[in-house]
Amino acid sequence: MADQTRVTLEQSEMPEAWYNILPRLPFPPDPPLHPGTREPIGPDDLAPLFPMGLIGQEVSTDPWIDIPGPILDIYARWRPTPLQRATRLEKALGTPAQIWYKYEGVSPAGSHKPNTAIAQAFYNKEEGVTRIATETGAGQWGSSLAFACALFDIECKVYMVKSSFEQKPYRRLMIETWGASVTPSPSTETNAGRAILDANPDSPGSLGIAISEAVEDAAGREDTKYSLGSVLNHVLLHQTVEGLELRKQLEKAGLQADVLIACCGGGSNLGGFIFPFLEEKIERGDGLRFVAVEPASCPTLTAGKIDYDFGDTAGMTPLLRMYTLGHEFVPPAIHAGGLRYHGDSPLISGLAEHGYLEAVAYPQGKVFEAAVQFARTEGYIPAPESAHAVRAAIDEALRCKEENSAETIVFNLSGNADFDLAAYDAYLNGRLESEV
């Protein structure tokens, strides 16, 4: 038998509670503010948009929150996800480091997004919600919520950033196969969309604009709630199944991570991956590093400033204290659509502000170079977002080679590229804007 390169968990070893970082933070969290009064908002302010089950989680100070049985039951369709060692990549790099990755691309939608989509659909269903509106950039989130809504028999409406809608027809078809409806954003269906189109009929859209449309849709209809795929506390909470599984897997394999790496757009993938290691990070200090990887073209953590800002372009959401490039910032149309967000989760921002989290930014040429090397040594073709983590993991491994340091590098391969192969085509044929 070969060395162990794959660490799996039984269904019975799946975490049965989410890890809530809020009561464990070594600094006080900053509350969201009402966009009108600039006073901290309360549950009532959020009630038009979210079911109370999720609002409760947004502010909960319970260290653990039980995962309801019906959610566990669905998680078990693809979870626990495997932890794999990239031995062939290690060899190609000639590094003494071990490179491990947790692979979330095995979910029905092909990414980590269903971890929260299923939970959000469940809590909406429990409170009788019959329709959910949301936005999607690259399409990973929209397809995940469509999948979740299909399973809970909830109508689902997805405002999809127009440039993605046009570039990724298959992603749209996936959403429709699960029974949801998709509208390119900006659309003529909302005031927010019409205002953008009036100013610029050719607008390619952005995540911020699509959020404005979905929020307006939900706020205006009694039967509809809104759902967000990242940024908010409850979303990151749900994603902690990733890090909790990883902790068990590392323990099972007798490993101690030296660095944990994940890409960061709104921050849910990163948060879910690292939060359960917070106590260990505090104890080990620089012995355990958290690394966020972002695109050079949307460098919130590496070049943004921390301040209160809106979550959407139209300024309809509560104000969140976060690293931001300004809510009117529209990043270039890079292929990692899921990382094109002007801000970051307040929880992630807090960890960065207080020195618990490093960040690094890459232009997309360097990202795809790493992704192709990974695909041709390990097999899986990373989603453009996840490819950012691959790039950073390779660079850490090369640093280890220089320093002759046998570290254990663990990154999150958060999704596959099945709907993003046009980006690889552009890269391989010299048509990618590499420096962006």
404, HSE (Cβ side, Cα atoms, 13 Å): 0
Report the residue from 24, 34, 77, 354 that binds a second copy according to the rule CB under 8 A: 77
87 near a second copy, rule: CB under 8 A: yes
Determine the interface stretch with a second copy among 3-11, 42-50, 193-201, 216-224 (rule: CB under 8 A): 3-11
Q: Residue 305 CB, nearest distance to a second copy (Å)?
A: 38
| C-alpha gyration radius of the chain | 20
181 near a second copy, rule: CB under 8 A: no
* Closer residue to a second copy in complex, CB, 175/196: 175
For residue 360, the cross-strand partners are: 293
CB 84 within 8 A of CB 382: no
Report the residue from 47, 76, 282, 303 that binds a second copy according to the rule CB under 8 A: 76
CA pair distance 420, 170, nearest whole angstrom: 10
* Closer residue to a second copy in complex, CB, 110/265: 110
For residue 362, the cross-strand partners are: 295
CA pair distance 176, 168, nearest whole angstrom: 13
Around Cβ 126, how many Cβ atoms within 10 Å? 14
Report the residue from 377, 405, 433, 434 that binds a second copy according to the rule CB under 8 A: 377
Report the residue from 84, 167, 185, 412 that binds a second copy according to the rule CB under 8 A: 84
Contacts of 30 by beta carbon, 8 Å cutoff, 6+ apart = 308, 321, 346, 350
Determine the interface stretch with a second copy among 17-25, 73-81, 296-304, 385-393 (rule: CB under 8 A): 73-81
Separation in Å, CA 46 to CA 42, 50, 132, 193, 412: 7, 6, 15, 22, 31
6 near a second copy, rule: CB under 8 A: yes
Report the residue from 25, 29, 48, 88 that binds a second copy according to the rule CB under 8 A: 88
66 near a second copy, rule: CB under 8 A: no
Task: List the structure tokens of 230.
Answer: 């990242």
Report the residue from 72, 197, 255, 333 that binds a second copy according to the rule CB under 8 A: 72
265-288 burial, b for 16+ CB within 10 Å, e for fewer? bbbbbbbbbbbbbbeebeeeeeeb
Q: What is the DSSP string of 355-396?
A: TS-EEEEE-HHHHHHHHHHHHHHH---B-HHHHHHHHHHHHH
23 near a second copy, rule: CB under 8 A: no
Report the residue from 39, 66, 73, 198 that binds a second copy according to the rule CB under 8 A: 73
Question: Comparing C-alpha atoms, which of 100, 81, 82, 104 is closest to residue 90?
Answer: 100
Binding mask 140-179 for a second copy (x = CB under 8 A): -------x--xx------------------x--xx-xxxx
Question: Please, is 240 exposed, middle or buried when counting C-beta atoms within 10 Å of its C-beta (0-12, 13-18, 19+)?
Answer: buried
Determine the interface stretch with a second copy among 242-250, 255-263, 370-378, 385-393 (rule: CB under 8 A): 370-378
418 near a second copy, rule: CB under 8 A: yes
Whether omega before 186 lies within 30 degrees of 0, making that bond cis, reads yes
101 near a second copy, rule: CB under 8 A: no
What is the DSSP-derived secondary structure letter of residue 432? S
CB 211 within 8 A of CB 317: yes
Report the residue from 93, 320, 334, 381 that binds a second copy according to the rule CB under 8 A: 381
CB 156 within 8 A of CB 174: no
* Closer residue to a second copy in complex, CB, 39/73: 73
* Closer residue to a second copy in complex, CB, 106/219: 106
What is the DSSP-derived secondary structure letter of residue 287? G
* Closer residue to a second copy in complex, CB, 233/412: 412
251 near a second copy, rule: CB under 8 A: no
Q: Residue 210 CB, nearest distance to a second copy (Å)?
A: 22
406 near a second copy, rule: CB under 8 A: no
Determine the interface stretch with a second copy among 24-32, 105-113, 209-217, 300-308 (rule: CB under 8 A): 105-113
57 near a second copy, rule: CB under 8 A: no
69 near a second copy, rule: CB under 8 A: yes
Whether omega before 29 lies within 30 degrees of 0, making that bond cis, reads no
Residue ranges in 289-348 that form contacts with a second copy under rule CB under 8 A:
none
380 near a second copy, rule: CB under 8 A: yes
* Residues near a second copy, by CB under 8 A: 1-2, 4-12, 16, 69, 72-74, 76-78, 82, 84, 87-88, 106-108, 110, 114, 147, 150-151, 170, 173-174, 176-179, 372, 375-381, 417-419, 421-422, 424-425, 428
